[in-house]
Structure 1
Amino acid sequence: MTGSEETPSFRLAYVPGVTPAKWVRIWNERLPGIPLSLHQATGAEASDMLRAGDADAGFVRLPVDRTFFSAIPLYTEATVVVVPKDHVITAAEEVTLADLADEVLVHPLDDVFDWDAPPGEPAFERPATTEDAVELVAAGVGLLVVPQSLARLHHRRDLTYRPLTDAPQSTVALSWPEEATTDLVEDFIGIVRGRTVNSTRGRQAEQTPQGSQGVRAEPKRPQKATAAGRGAQGRAGGAKRTQSAKPAKRGKPRRRS
């Protein structure tokens, strides 16, 4: 190795609400010599990092630009509405969009839902982030619709949430630039898909045992005949000779005296 060569590493971006700890632990167990670095980013930032080559792969929310990115959907989250603990909605186990028709809804600029028309009445202004929107809910400005993981991430003691049964949902996916599908990306895909170390769907280098390249199979040597085999061959040969033997010659007739 020359001094100019860099130690390989894997850079993983992830959006708020995603918990990559399980996959990172498996990576460290299987590839202890290759460090994995985590980079939390908003949805837009994660996309920019992947495009610029500042991350090798990322946990993002769909949709993504499929002309540039490959993506493997992993799971779809439940959608909830975040409300103050003393709000009338807390009396129900779950709510619908119709239940929010007369409510003021805070719609942050980093909203992960692709709404045709957000429910309820719009707030006076749109906060920059979901975290800012949660603060407005706590201040009594309005309510907030988010994936359940974001409600948990920004949990406050004075707020709670209820499932929203007919709202859009957010799907989390593993994504990476299609033209940058490196061996390390393939390794991480295998981990996320739950492949074992010895999986036949892994990389080719993992399928070929070390030292097996260039080894040729030795030609089979003719087997030595056993005693039983020689006896059988002898009997078979004797039978052939008996069948093909010429009839014995008759002797000359004796003279009569």
Structure 2
Amino acid sequence: MTGSETSPTFRLAYVPGVTPAKWVRIWNERLPDVPLALVQLPVAAAPDALREGTADAGVVRLPVDRTFFSAIPLYTETTVVVVPKDHLLTAVDEVSLADLADEVVLHPLDDVLGWEQPPGEAAFERPATTEDAVELVAANVGLLVVPQSLARLHHRRDLTYRPVADAPQSGVALVWPEETTTDLVDDFIGIVRGRTANSTRGRTRTPAEERSAQSADTRADGATARRRPTAGKTGGKTGRAPQKRGGSGGSRDGRGTPGGGGGKGGKGGKPRRRS
């Protein structure tokens, strides 16, 4: 790991559609002494912000330059088509690109799907943003194909969406400059990957982590002391099982009858009658 210096604030960039709230909550619980600042950026601006040091790490859309960035893929989104609620495509649960062949499909300048050839018929001009394209869908100018999170982000009551089975998909990843992997970046990686609070991966603990670890050790020592037996309770027993004492000889033969020397066919008890 390089860059052992700790920043007073951890700056996390994220792009539209991404919701890092769960990870932020865990960060605040685990590292209360280090504020986490969220930096929302357009998709195209996120890589440059990370290069320039505006943010320490980012939850962004793939692809990214893997010669400069380290990346941990997080999930891949379902792709949907946004349509008016009274559109014919709402009659089915899922559509294909072939179903869009005769439709005007809007292709905004901030598109994140990386089409080789966008589906449907091209609009007269490309909308500047996905948000602008959604407004045009509501005005019945055309349809829009986007990751599901963006359809939810720009939701309107007069619009709905359906999954597109064979469309490209958008992957989301945690990304940071490989040469500036600080302890705080490693902490956030641990949260994303589900590491426990006690997993420090060899780095120095923060004061809050040290207090938490000491408290856990104290509880563990107390539990061990309660479980440990004392000499008074055991009564000096050695743990050897008690031996059962037999009759006159204190032993049994191979057939489980008292006494020894009672060979084959030997019977004890009743005497023979004299003739």
Does the CA contact (< 8 Å) of 1:183 and 1:203 recur in 2?
Answer: no
Q: Cα deviations across residues 106-126 of structure 1 (Å, max 9, x unaligned)?
A: 000000011110000011101
- Aligned residue in 1 for 2:188: 188
Q: Which residue of 2 aligns with 1:108?
A: 108
Q: Is the 8 A contact 2:113 2:170 kept in 1?
A: yes
Shift of 1:6: 9.4
Scaled by the length of structure 2, what TM-score is found?
A: 0.72
Kindly, what percent of the aligned residue pairs are identical?
78
Once structures 1 and 2 are overlaid, which stretch shifts more, 80-89 or 40-49?
Answer: 40-49
Specify the alignment match of 1:147 in structure 2.
147
**Structure 1 match to 2:204:** 205
Q: Which residue of 2 aligns with 1:74?
A: 74
In the comparison of the two structures, how many residue pairs are matched?
204
CA contact (8 A) 1:186 1:203 kept: no
Aligned partner of 2:162 in structure 1 is 162
Paired position in structure 2 for 1:138:
138
Amino acid corresponding to residue 132 of structure 2 in structure 1: D
1:185 alignment partner, SS class: helix
- Looking at structure 2, the residues matched to 23 and 176 of structure 1 have their Cα atoms a distance apart, in angstroms, of 16
Contact 2:6 2:183 in 1 (8 A): no
Residue 91 of structure 1 aligns with which residue? 91
CA distance in 1 between partners of 2:56 and 2:141 (Å): 40
Q: Equivalents in 2 of 1:17, 1:147: separation in Å?
A: 8
CA distance in 2 between partners of 1:176 and 1:16 (Å): 18
CA contact (8 A) 1:83 1:159 kept: yes
Q: CA RMSD in A?
A: 1.9
Equivalent-residue separation in structure 1 for 2:113 and 2:162 (angstroms)? 17
TM-score, L = length of structure 1: 0.76
How far the C-alpha of 1:7 sits from its partner, in A, is 6.4
Match of 2:15 in 1: 15
Are residues 1:27 and 2:31 paired?
Answer: no
Q: Which residue of 2 aligns with 1:227?
A: none
Task: Map residues 240-255 of structure 1 onto 2, 5 A cutoff.
Answer: none
- Is the Cα contact below 8 Å between 2:6 and 2:182 reproduced in 1? no
| Structure 1, gaps ≥5 residues long | 211-257
Contact in 2 for aligned 1:62/1:170 (Cα 8 Å)? yes
Q: What is the one-letter code of the residue matched to 1:164?
A: V
User: Which amino acid letter does the alignment assign opposite residue 204 of structure 1?
Assistant: R
